[in-house]
C-alpha cells in the first residue's frame, strides 16, 4: 500500500510549478513537474485536478505525454547550459587575448622622426594658413572613429576650431591608441593637407599624423563623457553638468557668438563716441523696486547686489558725456520663466541733452548697427547660420507703438487674461500676452508711453499727459522685452516728490539727487538684457542657454 506521501498532486487550475511542492495543499500546475518530482519511481501515483470534480489518477496517455515532455525539456536545458558555457569560454578567451594585446601594446613606443622638419605649434584656427607645413596641435578628442586595425580618425577640438587628424599603422597600435577615449587631451604632429573633392572635414582639410601622444586620458566605460552628456538628459541634470555640456558644439557656438556680440556692442559705442565705465555691483540704493533686491551684510551695514547701473551712469554724464557699461545685474525674481535670470549681463547706456525721440532713434541705431556688424563678420555670421538658420536682420524703422495702443491691440486680437477678462489701461502687460502680441506682429516693436503708476520712480512724465512716461520697452518676436529705457526726471523737486510717493528714503540717494542740483539736463538711457538679446538672435528657447553658468531660483551651482 502506498502512503499518502506517495501521491503527487497536480492542480491545473490553481497549482504552481514554482511555489508548489506536490502536496494536496500546495499542488503543482503541470504533470511534467510531477513526473520530475517522482524521479522514475513507479510506486508514486500522480493525481490531477482539471475541474471542480477534484483529483483523479492521471490517465496512461497523459502520463506518457508528460514523461516525453520532461525528457525533451531536460534535453533543451542541457543544450542551453552547454551553449552558455561555450559563450563564456569564448568571452574569457577574447578578454585574455585583449589583455595580452594591451600588454603587448604597452611595449609599442612611438618615437618622433628627428629627420623631419621641426613641428611648429599652432592653434586649430591657424590650420588653413599652415597647410603643407609640419605642425604641432594640442586639443581634446571631440570625436573618435576607428577604421580597422590600422586607421583612426580623431576630430580634435582646441576651442579655436575643429581639426580632423588621421592616425595610421603603428600609431594605432599603442596602448594609448587602443584605449583612447573622447575628451582625452592629445598632442599631434604632422602635416595638414587639403582634402580631395568629395571628402568632408572641418575647413576641408586633415592633419596626417606622424607622431602623437596623450596629455591626459579621459575615462571610458560607464564614466565616459558620451555616457554623461546625452542630448535626451533632463534639463536639471544638464545644468548640473554644464561644465561638460559647454564642450558641445551648440553650447560652445552660443558662447562664441556671445563674445562676438559683446565685441560688436563695444565697437558700436566706440564708433558713436560713448565712454565705457565700470560701476559697482555692491550698492545701497535700489533702482527697480525693493521686491527683487538681493540683500547682504556689508561690514554690518545693509547692502544690495545692484539691479541696474543706471543711477551711476547718470552721474557720469557731466564728466564723460555719453556713457555705457556692461555689468552683471541681479534680480531676486521668483519667476521661473524662460527669460528670467537672477544674475544677468546688463548693457546700459545713458545720454545727455537728448529728446525722447532721439533716444528711440539711438536704440534702433544700436540694435541695427550691432546686427550689421555681426553679419559682416564672416565667422560670426556662420555661427548665427548654424544656430538660427535663415536669420534675417530686422527691417528699419521698427514699429513704434504706444502702451495705450497695445492695450487696444490685445482687445482687438482677443488676447485676454487667464480669467477671461481684458487688460485695461493702467495694468502691467505680463510676459505671456506681451509675447503673444509680439509674435503676432512678428517684428521689433518700440513700445512707449507706459503709465507712470506702473513704472520706476525716476521716469520722466510726458509734458502733454502727466499720467504717462517717456518710457520704452523694445520687444522682439519669441522673447518679448529685451530692452527697458526712459527719459529721467531732471527736476530736483519732482524727484524728491517721487521718492516720497515710492516710500524711498532720499538720504542714501543724495548723490543721485545732486545730479539735478549741479547743472541738470534732459537725459535718458536704457538697459539691454544681453542673454535676452542672444536668445532672440540665436533662436534659443531660454536665456539660460545664453549664460555661461546661469543663476535662477534654486540654482547657484556649478
Ligand atoms: O526693464 P529693466 O528692469 O530696466 C532697468 O533696469 C533700467 N534701470 C535700465 C536702464 O534704463 N538703464 O531691465 C532692463 C533689461 C530688460 O529689458 C531685460 O532685457 C533685462 O534687463 N532684464 C533681465 N534679463 C534677464 N533676467 C532678468 N531677471 C531680467 N530683468 C531685466
Q: Is 488 in the pocket of ligand 1 (CB under 6 A)?
A: no
Q: Is the CB of 482 under 6 A from ligand 1?
A: yes
Do 328 and 472 sit in the same domain of this protein? yes
Residue 331 included in any domain: yes
Decide whether any atom of ligand 1 lies within 6 Å of the 326 Cβ: no
416 belongs to a structural domain: yes
Name residues of the chain where pLDDT drops below 50. Answer: 1-3
Report CA-CA distances (Å) from 152 to 7, 352, 411: 69, 63, 64
Say if residue 207 is in the same domain as residue 287.
no
- My answer on whether 405 and 518 are in the same domain is yes
Tell me what pLDDT residue 4 has.
54
Could you tell me if residue 241 is inside a domain?
A: no
Assess whether 255 and 138 both reside in one domain: no
- 528 C-alpha to center of ligand 1: Å? 6
Same domain for 539 and 414: yes
Question: Domain check: are 489 and 541 in the same one?
Answer: yes
Please give the number of the atom of ligand 1 that sits closest to the Cα of 310: 12
Cα 118 to ligand 1 centre (Å): 54
In a domain, residue 236? The reply is no
CATH number, position 255: 3.30.930.10
**CA–centroid distance, residue 345 to ligand 1 (Å):** 9
In a domain, 457, yes or no: yes
What pTM does this model have? 0.85
In tens, the pLDDT along 423-474 reads: 999 999 999 999 999 999 999 999 999 999 999 999 999 999 999 999 999 9
Residues 195 and 304 in one domain: no
Do 219 and 272 lie in one domain? The reply is no
C-beta 532 within 6 A of ligand 1: yes
The CATH number given to whatever domain includes residue 28 is 3.30.1910.20
- 212, 334: one domain: no
Q: Which three cell numbers stand for residue 114?
A: 628627428
For residue 308, the ligand 1 atom closest to its alpha carbon is: 6
Last residue of a domain, one of 76, 108, 133: 76
Residue 213 placed within a domain:
yes
The pick from 345, 529, 531, 544 for probing ligand 1's pocket by mutation, whose C-beta has the most ligand atoms within 8 angstroms, reads 529
Same domain, 195 and 267: no
Total domains in the chain come to: 3
333 plus 457 within the same structural domain = yes
Burial class (CB in 10 A: 0-12, 13-18, 19+), 48: buried
> Which residue, 558, 556, 531, is CA-closest to 545?
531
**What pLDDT was estimated at residue 482?**
97
Atom of ligand 1 lying closest to residue 344 CA: 25
- What is the domain range of residue 448? 249-546
Cβ proximity of 170 and 113 under 8 Å: no
**Percentage helix, strand, coil for the chain under 3-state DSSP, each rounded to 5:** 40, 25, 35
Q: For residue 348, which atom of ligand 1 is closest to its CA? A: 12
Cβ contact 302:284 at 8 Å: yes
- Residue 177: CATH number of its domain: 2.40.50.140
Residue 547's nearest CA partner among 537, 532, 527, 536 is 532
Task: Report if residue 322 sits inside a domain.
Answer: yes
The reply to whether 193 falls in a domain is: yes
254 and 218 in a common domain: no
- Burial pattern 374-399, b for ≥16 Cβ within 10 A else e, equals bbebeebeebbeebeeebeebeeebe
Does ligand 1 come within 6 angstroms of the Cβ of 542?
no
Amino acid at each position: 500500500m502506498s502512503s499518502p506521501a506517495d501521491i503527487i498532486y497536480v492542480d491545473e487550475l490553481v497549482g504552481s510549478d514554482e511555489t508548489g511542492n506536490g502536496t494536496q495543499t500546495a499542488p503543482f500546475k503541470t504533470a511534467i513537474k510531477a513526473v520530475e518530482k517522482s524521479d522514475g519511481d513507479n510506486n508514486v501515483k500522480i493525481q490531477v485536478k482539471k475541474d471542480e470534480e477534484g483529483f483523479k489518477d492521471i490517465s496512461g496517455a497523459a502520463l506518457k505525454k508528460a514523461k516525453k515532455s520532461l525528457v525533451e525539456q531536460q534535453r533543451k536545458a542541457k543544450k542551453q547550459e552547454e551553449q552558455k558555457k561555450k559563450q563564456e569560454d569564448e568571452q574569457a578567451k577574447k578578454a585574455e587575448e585583449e589583455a595580452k594585446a594591451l600588454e603587448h601594446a604597452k611595449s609599442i613606443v612611438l618615437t618622433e622622426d628627428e629627420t623631419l622638419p621641426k613641428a611648429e605649434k599652432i592653434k586649430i584656427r591657424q590650420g588653413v594658413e599652415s597647410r603643407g607645413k609640419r605642425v604641432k596641435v594640442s586639443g581634446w578628442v571631440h570625436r573618435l572613429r576607428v577604421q580597422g586595425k590600422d586607421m583612426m580618425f580623431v576630430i580634435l577640438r582646441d576651442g579655436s576650431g575643429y581639426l580632423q587628424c588621421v592616425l595610421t599603422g603603428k600609431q594605432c597600435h599603442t596602448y594609448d591608441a587602443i584605449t583612447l577615449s573622447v575628451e582625452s587631451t592629445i598632442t599631434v604632429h604632422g602635416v595638414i593637407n587639403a582634402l580631395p573633392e568629395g571628402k568632408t572635414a572641418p575647413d576641408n582639410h586633415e592633419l596626417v599624423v606622424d607622431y602623437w601622444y596623450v596629455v591626459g586620458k579621459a575615462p571610458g566605460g560607464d564614466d565616459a563623457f558620451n555616457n554623461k552628456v546625452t542630448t535626451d538628459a533632463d534639463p536639471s541634470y544638464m545644468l548640473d553638468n554644464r561644465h561638460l555640456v559647454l564642450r558641445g558644439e551648440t553650447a560652445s557656438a552660443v558662447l562664441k557668438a556671445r563674445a562676438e556680440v559683446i565685441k560688436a556692442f563695444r565697437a558700436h559705442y566706440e564708433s558713436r563716441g560713448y565712454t565705457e565705465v565700470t560701476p559697482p555691483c555692491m550698492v545701497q540704493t535700489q533702482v527697480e523696486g525693493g521686491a527683487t533686491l538681493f540683500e547682504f551684510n556689508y561690514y554690518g551695514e545693509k547692502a544690495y547686489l545692484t539691479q541696474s547701473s543706471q543711477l551711476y551712469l547718470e552721474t557720469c554724464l557731466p564728466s564723460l558725456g555719453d556713457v555705457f557699461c556692461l555689468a552683471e545685474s541681479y534680480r531676486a525674481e521668483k519667476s521661473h520663466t524662460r527669460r528670467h535670470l537672477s544674475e544677468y549681463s546688463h548693457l546700459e547706456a545713458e545720454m545727455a541733452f537728448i529728446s525722447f525721440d532721439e533716444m528711440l532713434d539711438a536704440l534702433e541705431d544700436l540694435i541695427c548697427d550691432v546686427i550689421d556688424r555681426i553679419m559682416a563678420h564672416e565667422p560670426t555670421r556662420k555661427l548665427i547660420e548654424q544656430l538660427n538658420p535663415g536669420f534675417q536682420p530686422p527691417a528699419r524703422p521698427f514699429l513704434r507703438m504706444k502702451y495705450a495702443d497695445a492695450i487696444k491691440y490685445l482687445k482687438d486680437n482677443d488676447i485676454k487674461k487667464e480669467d477671461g477678462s481684458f487688460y485695461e489701461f493702467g495694468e502691467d502687460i505680463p510676459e505671456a500676452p506681451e509675447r503673444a502680441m509680439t509674435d503676432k506682429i512678428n517684428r521689433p516693436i518700440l513700445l512707449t508711453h507706459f503709465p507712470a503708476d506702473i513704472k520706476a520712480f525716476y521716469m520722466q512724465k510726458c509734458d502733454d499727459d502727466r499720467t504717462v512716461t517717456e518710457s520704452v520697452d523694445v520687444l522682439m518676436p519669441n522673447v518679448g522685452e529685451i530692452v527697458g529705457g526712459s527719459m529721467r526726471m531732471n527736476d530736483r523737486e519732482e524727484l524728491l516728490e517721487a521718492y516720497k510717493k515710492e516710500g524711498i528714503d532720499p538720504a542714501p540717494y543724495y548723490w543721485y539727487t545732486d545730479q539735478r542740483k549741479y547743472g541738470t539736463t534732459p537725459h535718458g538711457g536704457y538697459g539691454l538684457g544681453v542673454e535676452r538679446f542672444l536668445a532672440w538672435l540665436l533662436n534659443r528657447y531660454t536665456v539660460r542657454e545664453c549664460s555661461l553658468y546661469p543663476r535662477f531660483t534654486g540654482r547657484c551651482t556649478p
